[in-house]
Amino acid sequence: MNSSQVTPSGTVANADSSIIYRSRREPDASATVSVIRAVAEVEDVTPGDLPVLGDVIDPEALDGVFEGGQRVGRSNARLSFDYCGYTVTVTEDVVTLSVR
């Protein structure tokens, strides 16, 4: 699999060793939920065991970037931030975790 391929959920083996996880966002899940699920899966913990996401980014703002009614003019939106030792990148369709 090359670095441009995305699996429905799981670890990606690719040439870019800094990307350690890439997952398609579920259509009905908010960006915040998608991030928490991705990090929890990589860390092999329950979502409740993770640090509060709101300590590093405003969850309402994160969700607002990708909400259906708010997307006009933002179809290529990409947002990155650091959380739990990963650089998390969120797009309309994908959550990617990279090592810093």
What is the percent of the chain with per-residue pLDDT over 90, rounded to a whole number? 61
Question: Which residues, at least 6 apart from 57, have a Cβ–Cβ distance to it below 8 Å?
Answer: 81, 83
Q: Tell me what pLDDT residue 73 has.
A: 54
Q: Tell me what pLDDT residue 66 has.
A: 86
- Please, where are the H alpha helices in 1-100? 31-43, 59-66
Residue 16: count other Cβ atoms within 10 Å of its Cβ.
11
pLDDT tens figures, 45-87: 999 999 999 999 999 999 998 886 554 555 688 999 999 999 9
Q: Tell me what pLDDT residue 76 has.
A: 83
Q: Tokens 């030792």, residue?
A: 85
Query: 49-84 as b/e, with b when 16 or more CB fall inside 10 Å?
Result: eeeebeeebebeebbebbeeeeeeeeeeeeeeeebb
Q: Across the chain, how many H-helices and E-strands are there?
A: 2, 4
